[in-house]
Amino acid sequence: MNFAIVFHKEERVFHLYNEEISYIMRIMENEQLEHLYYGKRIPDREGFSYLHEEARRSQMSVCIPEPGLLSMHYSAQEYPSYGTGDYRSPAFSILQENGSRVSDFKYRCHEVKSGKPSYLPLPMSYVEKEEEALTLDITLFDNLSQTEMVLEYTLYQDYPILCRNVRFTQKGKEKIFLERAMSMSVEFMDKDFSLLYLSGAWGRERYLKKRKLEMGIQSIQSLNGTCSGAEHNPFIALLRKGADEDQGKVYGFNLVYSGNFLSQVEVSTFEMSRVMLGINPEHFSYCLCEGESFQSPEVILAFSDKGLNGLSQAYHRFMKNRLMSSKWKNRERPILLNNWEATFFDFNEEKILQIAKKAKEVGAELFVLDDGWFGKRNDDYRGLGDWDANLEKLPGGIKGLSEKVVAMGLDFGLWFELEMINMDSDLYRAHPDWIINAPGRFPSHARHQHVLDYSRKEVVDYIYEKVAKILRESKISYIKWDMNRYMSEPYSATLPPERQGEMMHRYILGVYDLYHRLTTEFPDILFESCASGGARFDAALLYYAPQAWCSDDSDAAERAKIQYGSSIAYPIVSIGAHVSAVPNQQLYRNTPLETRANMAYFGTFGYELDLNLLSPTEIEEVKREILFMKEHRRLIQIEGDFYRLLSPFEGNECGFSVVSPDKAEAIAMYFQKLNFVNASWIRFKLKGLEENKLYRISSNLNPSLERKEATVLHAGYNLKDKELSYEAYGAELMEIGIPIAREDLSRKGGDFASLLFLINAI
């Protein structure tokens, strides 16, 4: 059998395996769990216990009676604790009523079952058929504190994926305080890895970072409260020596959570590497009384022996099919136009309808009304929380406007920022205690707004009813759910002192609860998450909102890095990508309209500008771009395998491609940031094609229409029509590449020029 969870009774070893991966652990002499192996599939057999090693070492603490030599500090543990001889960071910590944090969780039983349980509204991956996954629950128990721990492992048959979480239940009468509860821990017996992670800030989210593991602790974290944050993403990967985009062994770890997190790799002085991901233990404490449980978020572990591209494709396929739960998960995304950068707060219904009419003329399918439609919201100082339409701007309210837009033949979408409030709002004046703030402390503000306390059910209930009323009476197909600040002065007015450490986690559970209720009542609406751009781009929200606004920085050149980094861990159909106006709002940079579209094709695709301000030639260009995306978006967004071809982090170029599953069709994009004079030759090498298939390669090498209109003939080249069309085998395209002439890049504008290639099997 090629898919199983086996328990070898005599040596007490668990082996979880499918066609691609194996995961092995055993029950040790002290009844705790030891990790033995995780990686490429190996044959199942009796006898894996030889992987346990013991040696007498100085300063070792032995946790079993003499003459035993079992020491936790030198054992690769499955879910380690502190206090019984392991001096590395623990996966969990429990404060008991007597003040002790020492625990001893011993194996009690285990169960293997088909399928995968749900812990909604806490998002996790799921199954559509029970037989596609096996779940192992290992129950351990601490007799002194009377606390139960269940380590849960779900193995999927058709993915190199293992999902892990942990659940604590207090069975005894004494209450306990869970001070640390990581979602998983896994150990490797060496440190021969590089750590890859995604870091940045607003406007430059998810930049690719890599460093070699060394002794000590290497970690990234978030303490932002409301989100994982723009600074660091809750995904890390370990790359074996020599691993790159296309070869070598890579381990991925992606936390399905949207709040404070910690991703940590600790290398001991004996070069053992312990990987842990979970809720950040800083400012975290969870009280459990008798009968109460705590459920951790999930970590999705993925393995590839085909480099980072192989890891990414595993994550992309899995998230599209078994993490996104919306009806939109395998549907092409509508081509939208958002009015924000066209109008900001300055609009009325007439202006909005003019923009929507032009969107319909060029072929867009969805119009999205952004911030400024509610309360007294004429700037960002006031109105947040007052979710009633401003009738001075929109006399018919959202209902009337949505009906008019739909009558044009467009779908209608709406922006909300549901978790925030301005003090200058009717809601704040009615409920000033609903904001998060510590007693007697100054309430720090950000963007003139404060955070509503979503750890309180009555707050979530109120917002739900306000939003649901609008959705029930209006014709709304899409929601952009924004969130524009981090949490400060974390404190809830309704939690007792001993439970204040639960507040930030309860806040995130409140966000999930609101998402769950809205997506349940309105299953046909496409939700897009947003957080000052990409500050909440995580796996958890993909469960409810199958796409996320990637970054407020919509400049095409900057997006090369942002979208490249995001694609490491997330499918490109989840990446909100728009063509915006120039000069760019963030960088004041001018890039060709064609390049802005070519970059946005590798995402959800849409526009964020006033089309009425474009020239007739530019409008024709937009129509051509929309037709292209409609023709190819199923390949790009849903069916194709995505490849990163050239890294913008390593040079002046960037390259992406998508290839159909049958290798019969591909689309590739080459982008250069700056032009060069008298430069070297370019060979653009592709990936993922069939070596022995003959392909036709075609590309429009003409300047875009708007560029041709504005360009004066140069002595070095002319702008007459020029098309690329030739035949080559897949092996040629991958080993030799497509020759790109520098002149053609200059014809496209030189700086920030891009070329799009269609590759079709003959």
Residue among 371, 411, 513, 552 flagged as catalytic? 552
Q: How far apart are CA 581 and CA 579, in angstroms?
A: 7
> At 299, is the secondary structure helix, strand, or coil?
strand
Kindly compute the dihedral angle of the four CA atoms of residues 689, 691, 697, 703, in this order, to the nearest 10 degrees: 60
Are 647 and 208 a contacting pair, CB within 8 Å?
yes
User: In angstroms, rounded to a whole number, what is the distance separating the alpha carbons of residues 288 and 222?
Assistant: 24
461 classed as catalytic? no
- 648 prior amide bond cis, ω within 30: no
**If you write DSSP's letter for every residue of 397-458 in order, what string do you get?**
HHHHHHHHHHHTT-EEEEEE-TTEE-SBSHHHHH-GGGB---TTS----BTTBEEB-TTSHH
CA 708 to chain CA centroid, nearest Å: 39
Cβ atoms 181, 286 nearer than 8 A: yes
Residue 524 vs residues 73, 328, 329, 479, 527: alpha-carbon distances, Å: 52, 8, 11, 11, 9
Least Cα distance to 181 among 85, 273, 294 occurs for: 294
SS3 628: helix
Q: What does the angle CA 395 – CA 397 – CA 402 come to, to the nearest 5 degrees?
A: 115
What is d(CA 168, CA 296) in angstroms, rounded to the nearest whole number? 9
Residues with Cβ within 8 Å of residue 1, at least 6 apart in sequence: none
544 HSE (CA, 13 A, CB side):
29
555 is catalytic: no
- Residue 343 amino acid letter: T
Q: Are 365 and 630 in contact (CB under 8 A)?
A: no
Closest CA to 754 of 615, 679, 636, 656: 656
Of 370, 371, 453, 482, the active-site residue reads: 482
Catalytic site positions: 482, 552
